[in-house]
Amino acid sequence: MSFEKANQRLQTVKDLATVTPIELAGAVQFYQLTFELAWKTLKDYLNAEGFDVKSPREVLKQGFAINLLADGDAWMEMLAARNSIVHLYSEEEITKIYHNIRDEYADTINRLCTKMKTLQK
């Protein structure tokens, strides 16, 4: 799946007024996939531009340094959320991540996707 397609699907999370437990789990997993595609797409772009970045943290820091990412703190928070998903067992914590995805993370990822599309033209 491409970053753009994953982003389009992630944007639908913002339209859900209420979610079932299955939708909640699916939204969180879909965020994880989209985040992976986001940082890897950014990594490929940065490598093509001559930057030697490997880890998600390096990629995000360099993306912020050259103004591809508007909010470095938000991306670091999103990275921490992505890392914590594997260890979430509490429905309360999963719901908290879901609300962050719906209220903030989806928009932040969408801004990068839009920017990357303009750079490819």
* The three-state (H, E, C) secondary structure of 62-106, written as one string: HHHHCCCCCCHHHHHHHHHHHHHHCCCCCHHHHHHHHHHHHHHHH
**Could you tell me the pTM of the whole model?**
0.93
Q: Specify the pLDDT at position 106.
A: 97
The structural domains of the chain, with segments of one domain joined by +, span 3-120
Cβ pair 42, 59 in contact under 8 A: yes
- Domain 3-120 sits in CATH at 1.20.120.330
pLDDT in tens, 18-68: 889 899 989 999 999 999 999 999 999 999 999 999 999 999 999 999 999
